[in-house]
Amino acid sequence: MTPLLAIVAAVVTAGVALFAVRSRRAAMRLPSVSDEEFLTRWGAVDRERSRGILRERDYVAKVLGVPADRLKADTTVAELRSYINPVRYEVARSDLADDVREKLPETIGGIIDMLMQRRTDEHVARG
């Protein structure tokens, strides 16, 4: 590798890392939400369904690059735009839309509902 290419690679890597840190720091401005508070949207659910809901919340948070405890069920994806870097936001919206295989619901809770339904349908199809 030439010295110039090594310098360019180092600068790009540092820029990407800085972008990720800034996005994570911005997301920390969102209020923290406990698992119990998050689950209240679904009312009384059994332990297995609760685990599924929280597992899908963790997945959505990972895709969005936001800590899971900062997502509320009624938070809209559009509201998160100011907490996520623009490139990641667009990629995350596209990835989540692919996951639900339909028009992306507006809220985090709606996305989780659709992901859980899709996973249930896949499980039933496998028999």
Domains of the chain: which residue ranges? 3-126
Residue 84 has pLDDT above 60, yes or no: yes
Give the Å distances, CA to CA, from 89 to 49, 80, 105.
Answer: 28, 8, 15
* Residue 24: per-residue pLDDT: 47
Least confident segment among 16-25, 64-73, 98-107: 16-25
> Three-state DSSP class for 55?
helix
* Residue 97: per-residue pLDDT: 87
Average pLDDT of the chain, as a whole number: 80
Distant-in-sequence, close-in-space partners of 3: CB < 8 Å, separation ≥ 6: none
Distance, in Å, from the CA atom of 116 to the CA atom of 120, rounded to the nearest integer, reads 6
